[in-house]
Amino acid sequence: RRVLMALIMATLLLLFLGARQNPRPAWQSFVTVRGLQFEADCRPYIIAGFNAHHLVTNVLVLPTNHRTPGNRKGRDIVREALRQASVAGLNTLRTFAHTTDDNFPFQASPGVLNENTFRALDWLLDEARL
């Protein structure tokens, strides 16, 4: 149930990545629907997005246990990817709130949750809205 809620939360919050280009604080800016049109701050909101399904896993990667470009931490790599997307005018990110890497599960076994992976998701959601 917690994984499903995390997936829903990730999908909704990352949809609002466009708040980066808005002068209002991100927490005050929400995408809404009026008729068949998305709106943000009473203006049409056009989705220009990208898929990055393994970002939660990337957040957890460290150069001590994985090969990374420039020997950088995963968080630095993800932060740079989000910055490049923003510069390119992309305002929406779709990612998974689950991992395909057995080293970084959200749920190690039924009822056994991995807090580090949930912290990585929380960090990603926070970083994406800045």
Is the pLDDT at 27 greater than 80? The verdict is no
CA contacts within 13 A on the Cβ side of 88: 13
pLDDT of residue 3: 63
pLDDT of residue 98: 78
Tell me the CA distances in angstroms from 72 to 9, 52, 55, 99, one per residue in order: 28, 19, 15, 21
Residue 88 pLDDT level (bands cut at 50, 70, 90): very high
Residue 54 pLDDT level (bands cut at 50, 70, 90): confident
pLDDT of residue 129: 77
pLDDT of residue 18: 47
pTM for the model stands at: 0.69
Is the pLDDT at 118 greater than 60? The verdict is yes
Residue 82: what residue type?
A: L
Q: What percent of the chain has pLDDT over 70?
A: 75
Q: From the CB of residue 26, how many other CB atoms can be counted at a distance below 10 Å?
A: 17
Residue 123 pLDDT level (bands cut at 50, 70, 90): very high
Q: pLDDT averaged over the chain?
A: 80
